[in-house]
């Protein structure tokens, strides 16, 4: 049975959704492609505090304890909003990249799903237990979560047997946004990645995000991190961040050099009208402080 702190958190979460959410989880808004969905989350006059959690890539057999450390950090700092930028789960059983190889053998969707939920519980447990704090939780689905939809589309026999409802994001308190649907909070756009051109390829540099979007933005998808700064026509600042590595494991398809990329998440302070002060929080720092 959940303890009283968890029950209190869940009651406040439901009240917050009834009172302030005009967009239901998973709803496909009737917007032009690429238009950011304005969430209208209000904060204090000095601006919002937003935690942006990049790609976790949870899967069987990888270390996940950093998510407990992250949850404890967030419970201590208590941001107004937490945005999970997508690819929280890796779902290697649904990958087309190395299908048919020895490495692929033994992968199972059920195991992938269990790893996703284990990781989510580790992150959410400290958040649920924090008293007097119920942050807005926004989840922008990544291409790895979208593998579930594509698997069913490619093999219709799977319809009814698997869907992204298996992620149970609503149960955890997240408001889910479909893959490649940007959201806007405090004048900052968030999306797993921002597509460009006819083929919809990801914008791969932070400077290009500013050039193409003309607004502050945060994206994941790519390993390591990039930051770029610019000015709007009215003189206000713009900041774009690409950061897609919040995991401890390495990937065999990367070289020893490229596997040494930065891993962590970001706190955005005083978010208002597209401006903010960014603070990087590395996994190494989380381990030293909360491990």
pLDDT in tens, 221-254: 999 999 999 999 999 999 999 999 999 997 776 6
Q: What pLDDT was estimated at residue 20? A: 42
Judge whether residue 269 has pLDDT over 80. Answer: yes
Q: How far apart are CA 241 and CA 185, in angstroms?
A: 15
**What global pTM score does this model have?**
0.88
Give per-residue pLDDT as tens, 208-224: 999 999 999 999 999 99
The alpha-helical segments, DSSP class H, found in the chain are 4-20, 66-77, 109-129, 143-154, 169-172, 206-213, 283-290
For the cut 70, the answer to whether the pLDDT of residue 13 exceeds it is no
Give the chain's end-to-end CA distance (angstroms, integer).
27
- Main-chain phi, psi angles of 171, to 5 degrees: -60, -35
- Stretch 108-124: mean pLDDT: 97
Residue 111: the pLDDT is: 96
pLDDT tens track for 127-165: 999 999 999 999 999 999 999 999 999 999 999 999 999
* 160 CB burial (10 A radius; 0-12, 13-18, 19+): exposed
Question: How much of the chain exceeds pLDDT 90, in percent?
Answer: 76
Phi/psi class of residue 139: alpha, beta or left (left: φ > 0; alpha: ψ in -120 to 50)?
beta
- Is there a contact between 185 and 37 (Cβ–Cβ < 8 Å)? no
Q: With 60 as the cut, is the pLDDT of residue 112 above it?
A: yes
Query: What's the pLDDT at 205?
Result: 97
Q: Average pLDDT for residues 177-195, to the nearest whole number?
A: 96
Distance, CA of 167 to CA of 145 (rounded, Å): 9
With a cut of 70, say whether residue 285 has pLDDT above it: yes
49-77 pLDDT, tens digit each = 999 999 999 999 999 999 999 999 999 99
Average pLDDT, the chain: 88
Per-residue tokens: 235? 């003189």
């Amino acid at each position: 049975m959940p303890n009283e702190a968890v029950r209190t958190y869940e009651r406040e979460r439901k009240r917050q959704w009834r009172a302030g959410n005009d967009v239901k989880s998973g709803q496909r808004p009737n917007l032009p492609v690429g238009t950011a969905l304005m969430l209208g989350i209000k904060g204090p006059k000095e601006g919002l505090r937003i935690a942006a959690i990049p790609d976790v890539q949870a899967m069987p057999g990888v270390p996940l304890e950093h998510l407990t450390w992250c949850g404890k950090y967030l419970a201590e700092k208590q941001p107004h909003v937490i945005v999970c930028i997508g690819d929280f789960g890796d779902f290697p059983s649904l990958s087309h990249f190395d299908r048919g190889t020895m490495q692929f053998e033994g992968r199972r969707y059920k195991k992938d799903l269990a790893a996703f939920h284990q990781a989510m519980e580790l992150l959410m447990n400290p958040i649920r237990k924090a008293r007097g704090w119920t942050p807005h939780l926004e989840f922008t689905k990544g291409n790895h979560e979208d593998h579930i939809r594509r698997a069913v589309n490619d093999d219709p026999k799977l319809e009814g047997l698997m869907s992204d409802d298996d992620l149970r994001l609503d149960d955890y308190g997240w408001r889910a946004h479909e893959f490649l649907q940007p959201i806007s909070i405090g004048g900052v756009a968030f999306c797993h990645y921002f597509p460009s051109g006819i083929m919809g390829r990801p914008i791969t540099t932070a400077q290009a995000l500013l050039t193409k979007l003309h607004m502050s933005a945060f994206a994941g998808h790519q390993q390591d991190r990039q930051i770029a700064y610019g000015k709007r026509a009215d003189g206000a600042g713009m900041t774009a961040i690409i950061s897609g590595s919040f995991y401890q494991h390495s990937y065999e398809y990367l070289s020893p050099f490229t596997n040494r990329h930065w891993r962590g998440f970001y706190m955005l302070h005083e978010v208002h009208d597209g401006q903010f002060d960014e603070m990087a929080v590395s996994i190494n720092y989380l381990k030293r402080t909360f491990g």
